[in-house]
Amino acid sequence: MQINLKINTTTLYKTLMTALIFLIGSTVLLLNSSRWLARRWGVLNLEQLIFHMRAPTVGSNPDLFWDFAIDNLPIVFFITMVVTVTFIQSLKWQKKRQHTMLMVTTTCFFGLALLTWNHIWIGLDVQAFVENQQEFSTFVEDHYIPPETVTLTFPEERQNLIYIYLESMETTFMSTVDGGAFSENLIPDLTALARDNVNFSPTNSLGGAHVTTGSTWTSAGMFAQTAGLPLDVPINGDAILADSLLLTYEDVPLFPREIITLGDILEAEGYHQVLMMGSDATFGGRRYYFTNNGNYEIFDYNTAISQGLIPEDYHVWWGFEDERLLTFAQEMLTELGQSDQPFNLTLLTADTHFEDGFLGDHCPEPFETQYANVLLCSSRQIYDFVRWIQEQPFYENTTVVIVGDHLTMQSLESPFWEEFPIADGYARMVYNAFINVPFQPESTTNRTFTTMDLFPTTLASLGVEIEGERLGLGTNLFSNVPTLAEEVGLEEMNRELEQSSTFFDHN
């Protein structure tokens, strides 16, 4: 009996210590990962994290995975090995010392677990998210205007549309003189485009759109601007990766299905629609959304390879850089402009993506931080692209819309914000400029609005008359009709959108 007890005790010790080593390694990985996310993503929230857990990860920037591995795996390996080696040595110890070892290891695990939980709970504001999921709001149902119920009157001659999503572009990057937050203007050329054309602003200076709950990352930002809705991802039992071998997009919908979007409306009016980007369009569900809502022709990183425009082994940043994207876009526009069919060319840039952006070989470097230099370079590239467009024969009946997709996710702890600190109370907003609009707006200043208002506003910029001036949750900014943010207040609007809504369960 004594021999059996001895064997059982030793076996139990080995089993418990092995389990604790595994748990400690996993907890350290989780804690370090959450810290890494906070440093790299800055404004990451739980709804965004859930979306990307469900969305396809194909096409994401491989540098992020390497950065994650370099930042996290060494410390996990080191701590795990220290505990493992100590455990192996402890097998030679007396039972009393083994008991102490077990108690110390268990205490360390629970301490790490508590620290990890606290960091995730606070960093992702889990409590607020959980509370909001338990509350229901009818805000969307009460205010949503289905586009199919609205009379849209297009001009006899259809106006072409060039819609440019600028990754992470804020009015913040302008100088304080122009309405930005910095002493020096990081985007002087984009500032000139906004000043010389139509720019909507909540102030008397240049300004931009506020970002609401459900529109703070690229896929959500593009959805908000084309559907007039926040991107709400219901939490349920099938909340797992959409690119799993076992599931399709039909099993795990990332976007509400039964809604009419900008792409649907323009497709019905005979527009040839193209979406161009330098990354893989599959990432974040963008390919699915734009092909199913407007039948867009997709030109992405994979297209460039298949057409022999870049070598098969070429890969920088998220695929290929914006300089190449704009060159390919010029070729596409030349082709589209030769057709009698109206067109909608939508571009998504990527060079200004966090962390620190991609600095091309031809970019000047007057600032100390790379991100500032990337912003300056992107501003010039877009300015030159617009100037090229204005020299083309199709420009006469083409509207150019330039907007940021969301606020930058550049970590607030990065050197960039140390070089360019923001004054307390400054409201960060998304850049916007409407170029070659066939009429003058009622007013462009002192308008409180969100990126969802860009949906009807874009149609209006093409000369479309909108019955009631509202679509989705958006209001046509070219009219004098108040936006929902002006009617109910931006803070109250966000509070309502944070809560659960049955609207998204039925669409």
Shared domain check, 192 and 100: no
- Give CA separation, 30 vs 25, 38, 50, 296, in Å: 9, 12, 16, 39
Shared domain check, 169 and 127: no
Assess whether pLDDT exceeds 60 at residue 54: no
Shared domain check, 234 and 339: yes
The more confident residue out of 278 and 424 is 278
Non-local CB neighbours of 308 within 8 Å, separated by 6+ positions: none
Q: In what order do the strands lie in the sheet with 297-299?
A: 297-299, 272-277, 343-348, 160-166, 398-404, 432-435
- What is the tally of structural domains in the chain? 2
Shared domain check, 261 and 162: yes
User: What does the mean pLDDT of the chain come to?
Assistant: 84
Take residue 404 and report the two structure tokens written for it. 């940021």
- Cα separation, 237 vs 216, whole angstroms: 24
Mean pLDDT to the nearest integer, 233-251:
37
Confidence of residue 80 (pLDDT cuts 50, 70, 90): confident
In the three-class reduction of DSSP (H, G, I as helix; E, B as strand; rest coil), residue 272 is classed as strand
Assess whether pLDDT exceeds 90 at residue 275: yes
Confidence of residue 138 (pLDDT cuts 50, 70, 90): confident
Domain boundary among 134, 161, 188: 134
Shared domain check, 164 and 85: no
In degrees, rounded to 5, the angle at the alpha carbon of residue 503 between the alpha carbons of residues 497 and 507 is 125
Tokens 């969305």 -> residue = 55
**Range name among 68-77, 104-113, 389-398, 429-438 with the lowest pLDDT average:** 68-77
Shared domain check, 152 and 108: no
Domain boundary among 134, 165, 199: 134
Instruction: Report cis status (omega within 30 of 0) of the bond before 131.
Output: no
The more confident residue out of 421 and 331 is 331
Q: In the prediction, which pLDDT does 120 show? A: 65
Assess whether pLDDT exceeds 80 at residue 410: yes
Assess whether pLDDT exceeds 70 at residue 244: no
pLDDT > 70 in the chain, percent:
81
Confidence of residue 424 (pLDDT cuts 50, 70, 90): confident
Shared domain check, 204 and 88: no
| Span 83-98, pLDDT tens digits | 788 778 887 787 778 7
Shared domain check, 303 and 200: yes
Domain boundary among 80, 107, 134: 134
State the CATH number of the domain containing residue 182.
Answer: 3.40.720.10
Beta-strand relationship, 432-435 and 398-404: antiparallel
Shared domain check, 502 and 373: yes
Shared domain check, 110 and 89: yes
Q: Which structural domain, as residue segments, surrounds residue 87?
A: 2-134
Q: In the prediction, which pLDDT does 213 show? A: 87
Assess whether pLDDT exceeds 60 at residue 431: yes
| Span 26-48, pLDDT tens digits | 877 777 766 666 555 554 555 55
pTM of the predicted structure, to 2 decimals: 0.79
Shared domain check, 242 and 348: yes
Shared domain check, 339 and 452: yes
